[in-house]
Structure 1
Amino acid sequence: MAETAAAAVLLPLAGRRNVLVTSALPYVNNVPHLGNLVGCVLSADAYARYCRLRGHNVLFVCGTDEYGTATEARALQEGCSPREVCDRFHALHREVYRWFGIRFDHFGRTSSQQQTEICQGVFRRLLDNGWLSEKTIQQLYCGSCERFLADRLVEGSCPVEGCGHDSARGDQCERCGELLNSIELIDPKCKVCGSAPCVRDTDHLFLELPLLKEKLEGYIDGASGDGSWSHNAVHVTNAWLKPRCITRDLKWGVPVPHDKYKDKVFYVWFDAPIGYISITACYTPEWEKWWKNPENVELYQFMGKDNVPFHTVMFPATLLGTGENWTLLKAISVTEYLTYESGKFSKAKGIGVFGNDTKDTNIPPEVWRYYLLTNRPEESQFWKLYKQDPPGCATVMKTSVGLVYLLACLLEPFMPSFSKEVLQQLNLCPDEHLSFCDEKGDRDKAKRPWDLIPSGHRIGKPAPLFKGLDDNTVKGFKEKFAGSQTERRLRAEVAAQ
């Protein structure tokens, strides 16, 4: 259920595998749709449940992402406060996840005092360590509203060649997924009043990712080198190593603790990932045992592909820049967009099947879970990847072969000769390789299919494992084995005469 799952507080345990699971924090300005569910919370829930069955010590945290432009814009639209918007939709999110059987250990929210304290503390460390800079940038200003327009308060046509989507936001185009700067939009309009904004100068603070490049690349190489990051995740990460603005001209957010910028708040993608930490702090005052314990805690994160760079670049760079011993991302699970009527699900436009709609169908939640997880949109058409993305193709093929090996092991007690044949086709000796051992030395291999087959391994010659039965063959067997043995013998004797 979408609340604390047990009375006892979970903390890392000595001698156990401690797994910290998070899913991308769903934004609170609308009800989650099925794309949100399968891309983050449902996938994370399935993995957390699997880890618990394996006997691991698991903490699964999530919560609503509540600060930023979208909430402020919704509040302006509805004539209420951002806090009222967040309170209403947090309750709706929690109810949807409870109905789907999502078993969080804690489901919190980012608009907490813990979020403010931890976020501002991280900022001060970055400032003291010299990883922040001040820059004057150009930003759209609405004369009618008398305010600088944050990214999501602007809408226009996408400037990306071949796209031209006429409802692109100031931070990202929903159609092509390209990250944008609001002043790049073609024919921009203020979403509050509809006026055409002008361009003005304004000062902001930036995280100097290029200065953190050595630290970040050292972490990325170590974290992604074992194949637990997809090639796509690594590629997107490398493209992001440039200064990133971390402040915004808004009221609803974590205040910037700096005299010059006291009227600004932190950019939601600076403070939102810190929400994983603050939500854990709301769960237990001993949160540092999870988040400052990389030697004993493994962090697994689940999200849609548009969230990747914020978790593989912004978040780890922010933590690395503090100089403290943070628990950093070990593995990332990323999904493609779930489609609806040949298009993309969209909370902003109300397109798709939403979480509260599913109850009205009278279809049990387990059916929805099964359908969504079996149709989870996956980075794996190897016949296309072979030409377009060779490293990605290699990852898919190696993982697929590893999964075949695991299935052969699982089926051996039931179909021993079948398992032997599978391993022979994989060019593996059954007597040496058939094992499902979970002793300490093999524990990691038991959970990672891509590590079960050595790099460079050549499989044997594939051949069909079973022969299909056509209708004529089935009809022949029915005739041949109809009746008792005595009747069949008499029929055979008659036929032989």
Structure 2
Amino acid sequence: MRLHLVPGEPTGIKVLSAAVLWGSRPEVLPPAHCDGVAKSICHQQQPVLVLPENKVLFSPNAICRFFYEAGGQVLSKQDEQWMEWDVTKLQPAVCSLLAQPDKSYKQLGETLRELEQALNCGKSPYLIGTSPTLSDLVLWGSLLPLLVDGNLPGELVCFEEVGRWITAVSTLSACQRAMKMTFEDCPAFISKPTCPPSGQRGVEQTQVGDCLESAVTKEEMTRTRDVFLHFREKQPQPKPIEHPILPRRGEENVLVTSALPYVNNVPHLGNIIGCVLSADVFSRYSRLRNWNTLFVCGTDEYGTATETKALADGLSPREICDKYHFLHAGIYRWFNISFDFFGRTTTPLHTKIAQDIFWKLEKRGFLLRQTVEQLHCEHCVRFLADRFVEGTCPLCGYIDARGDQCDKCGKLINATELKDPLCSICRRTPVILSSPHLFLDLPKLEENLESWLLESQGSGDWTFNAIQITRSWLKSGLRPRCVTRDLSWGTPVPLPGYENKVFYVWFDAPIGYLSITANYTEHWEEWWKNPRQVQLYNFMAKDNVPFHSVVFPCSLLGTGDDYTFVNHLIATEYLNYEEGKFSKSRGVGIFGDNVQASGIAADIWRFYLVAVRPEGQDSTFSWDDFMLRNNSELLNNLGNFINRAGMFVTRFFGGHVPSLELTTEDVTFLAQTTRLLHQYLQHMDKARLREGLRCILLLSRAGNQYIQQHEPWKRIKGSPSDRMRAETVTAVAVNVACLLSVLLAPFMPETSGTIQKQLQVPSTCNVLTDDFVCWLPPGHAIGQVVPLFHKIESWQIEEWKERFRGKRVDKVINSTAKAGQSTKTED
């Protein structure tokens, strides 16, 4: 194998380091010796590894991974997550700074803070263990262009752990040797940093047409052609869904949960993308994969938030729950959330299961009894649970903090720690009194928890923030966690002496996943006590992580029962609104009922929310960006391609797919399409939903380029050979449109259905495999083709900005609720 490097280019250092450290011995050559496929890549000044049979790797990270695995190393899930973080966060931050040297270090500083926290939580000199792994070299190599005399620049020296780690990696003999091979003399290696070239992007980020075409091998083209033309009959059939859905032996059984939304208000867009919509997109994808999938969710109806809202609205807690469960169900139905069952926590089965878990924890010695100092309102004659208290945050000074968490700094706090506390009901100052409570003995369960976390995070797909948040909880050791509250609305504590108390919502609410499933099927334990046959996916916003990764697992571990634990914890960051934050309590942002009143189809909202899904960092809903993405990505890109492909069939060929005579150009395009299909599957398998959607847009953009290049509207009027080209291009294009209709189904189900109806797509194509096949063969008749999307005008955006400034319109809520109260638990 041959490794081509540009002399003096920093990106070659981590590639050489990986080769030396893990025992590979490639022939190192300059770009001048490149030939064939590699030539078109080398001009971008990135490393190129040419393998036998002229297979080529041109991403530094991909080359490092090849050397790592060739050296007998096994890539861990943690390594994969760090490499994803490198591509999505670290490299863009470094490139942005180097492209504009005078720019503030803020973006890079925020990124390095995550790395600093991870290193600070660890107990070894490297990211994952006591020896360097792939992630150490990859991240270190991305930071190299910034280093001055081997250290971070002065603006970043505050990151002491990062500096220590850089030194540890830099002094590895393999890295020292690589630096000497790359730079002459090199006393302190890099002193004049240069911006990493665009080639540092991974293959999944390479633009279509960049170098995919030249990288297609003969073997790849042969298989692509064969599969496209002859594999249609070999594709699996969609499996019918029969309720109740239960696990099946020998199949991929996928259990999907979304964080249970509170019933104290209408959900806003941040709530929707953070839990139910993300879970829905993955559930729909899972079904397309023919995985045996159950998607359950429901409203979280117990706790302080419900009592507070009931008091504010002059209703009973039960009436509040009925009202808002009905509203939530209607909003999710409008968004086309495909729950298999949408339940609620205020059911007899929930009480039974929660109390069963409690009794097992009690009998096995995992509950402690402690007296707690609490705020007591003498005017209301009651102990004040967390959310009945407001005051000034003791950590950041925010004057409107709650008794459980500060909205500004995000820190968890105790109500008694608040400065100038007030009862949220009567606005009087409470006093501190003592009250007996029960605590879950987390320290006693910590060793079991860490063993489980090591296995789950190592074998499953946890998002980077989920891992970091969990590590931060474990860093200083766990403390007992109170699981009871002085409330009247909640699951009763069945222990004598605690009759006037209920379970704390964060002990009680996750048990709702079990009880909601139990309300769906009496065989619920086949899902929840079946860890060897079931893969559990949890979707939530990052503030819910510790309760799902620490408190709830400890509750289940303490019972001694063989429960199904989360394998894949998928957490988002926060979605902000324009210049501020969404807030249910303060009525800031766009809420579910506002969305319905906008007149914009649910699929457009689904598309945009996934497109800006806060996967690696906080993102922002922007009306201007909403208009831009609709008009450019949906209307001019995706919609334009699918409409053109269908219209060519109806206009030039009487509504029937024409003949195919594939040329090298066509097969190359089919191979590119197959590569994007594989990238889509890789991202979606790991619940990287935004990247999956990006693959769809790249494919439709490639389709438009393919049509534009071959101009079938001109060739149809030419010679017989020109007409044949027009037929082939049209047939290929309409089959790509068919594939797009399937890939789009998890994101925009109504639009997907419309495309399939227009193209008369056979239902058998709705199973996703690694193969791109010709589902619309020559002679296939399609239906009427009409545009899929419509332009949004700037005057509409201005109108919506004014209309939806975040002011809640309670009349809308009340009128909707009066239209029909319901306690129905299934949608």
TM bucket, shorter chain: 0.7 to 0.9
Q: How does 1:63-142 map to 2 (within 5 A)?
A: 63-142=298-377
Report the aligned-residue RMSD. Answer: 2.8
Instruction: Give the letter aligned to residue 436 of structure 2.
Output: D
Which secondary structure state, in structure 2, belongs to the residue aligned with residue 205 of structure 1? strand
CA distance in 2, matches of 1:412, 1:287: 50
Match of 1:185 among 402, 410, 418: 418
For residue 168 of structure 1, report the CA deviation from its aligned partner: 0.8
1:288 aligns with 2:542: no
Partner of 1:207: 440
Partner of 2:710: none
For residue 92 of structure 1, report the CA deviation from its aligned partner: 0.3
CA distance in 2, matches of 1:449, 1:17: 16
CA distance in 2, matches of 1:56, 1:435: 18
Partner of 2:589: 352
Instruction: Give the letter aligned to residue 564 of structure 2.
Output: T
Give the direction of change, closer, same or farther, for the CA distance of 1:412–1:419 in structure 2 (3 Å limit). Answer: farther
Which secondary structure state, in structure 1, belongs to the residue aligned with residue 444 of structure 2? coil
Q: Which stretch of the first structure deviates more once superposed, 132-141 or 53-62?
A: 132-141
Higher relative contact order (CA 8 A, sep 6+): 1
1:362 aligns with 2:616: no
> Which of the two has greater strand per residue?
1
Give the direction of change, closer, same or farther, for the CA distance of 1:449–1:9 in structure 2 (3 Å limit). Answer: closer
Instruction: Give the letter aligned to residue 412 of structure 2.
Output: L
1:159 aligns with 2:394: yes
Structure 1, unpaired ranges of 5+? 382-410, 423-433, 438-442, 451-465, 470-483, 486-497
Give the direction of change, closer, same or farther, for the CA distance of 1:414–1:166 in structure 2 (3 Å limit). Answer: farther
How far does the alpha carbon of each residue in 1:379-413 deviate from its partner, in whole angstroms, 9 at most, with x for none? Answer: 359xxxxxxxxxxxxxxxxxxxxxxxxxxxxx995
Give the direction of change, closer, same or farther, for the CA distance of 1:343–1:413 in structure 2 (3 Å limit). Answer: farther
Partner of 1:264: 501
Partner of 1:386: none
Give the direction of change, closer, same or farther, for the CA distance of 1:219–1:444 in structure 2 (3 Å limit). Answer: farther
Partner of 1:319: 556
CA distance in 1, matches of 2:682, 2:359: 38
Partner of 1:403: none
Structure 2, unpaired ranges of 5+? 1-239, 619-664, 689-701, 706-717, 720-827
Instruction: Give the letter aligned to residue 398 of structure 2.
Output: H
> Which of the two has greater helix per residue?
2
Kept in 2: contact 1:31–1:89 (CA 8 A): yes
Partner of 2:456: 223
CA distance in 1, matches of 2:586, 2:687: 39
How far does the alpha carbon of each residue in 1:67-115 deviate from its partner, in whole angstroms, 9 at most, with x for none? Answer: 0001111111222210000000000000000000000000000000011
Instruction: Give the letter aligned to residue 208 of structure 1.
Output: D
CA distance in 2, matches of 1:419, 1:271: 47
Give the direction of change, closer, same or farther, for the CA distance of 1:154–1:284 in structure 2 (3 Å limit). Answer: same
CA distance in 2, matches of 1:127, 1:64: 27
Q: How does 1:326-475 map to 2 (within 5 A)?
A: 326-379=563-616, 414-415=668-669, 447-448=685-686
For residue 239 of structure 1, report the CA deviation from its aligned partner: 3.5
CA distance in 1, matches of 2:498, 2:263: 26
Q: Identity percentage over the alignment? A: 54
Match of 1:62 among 297, 309, 316: 297
Instruction: Give the letter aligned to residue 175 of structure 1.
Output: K
Kept in 2: contact 1:165–1:175 (CA 8 A): yes
The structure whose Rg is larger is: 2
Kept in 2: contact 1:6–1:105 (CA 8 A): no
For residue 281 of structure 1, report the CA deviation from its aligned partner: 0.3
Give the direction of change, closer, same or farther, for the CA distance of 1:354–1:80 in structure 2 (3 Å limit). Answer: same
Instruction: Give the letter aligned to residue 503 of structure 2.
Output: F
Instruction: Give the letter aligned to residue 669 of structure 2.
Output: M
For residue 417 of structure 1, report the CA deviation from its aligned partner: 8.1
Kept in 2: contact 1:248–1:265 (CA 8 A): yes
Partner of 1:273: 510
Which secondary structure state, in structure 1, belongs to the residue aligned with residue 442 of structure 2? coil
Kept in 2: contact 1:412–1:418 (CA 8 A): no
Kept in 1: contact 2:285–2:684 (CA 8 A): no
How many residues align? The count is: 403
> Normalization by structure 1: what TM-score?
0.77
Q: Which stretch of the first structure deviates more once superposed, 7-16 or 191-200?
A: 7-16
CA distance in 2, matches of 1:24, 1:205: 25
Instruction: Give the letter aligned to residue 262 of structure 1.
Output: E
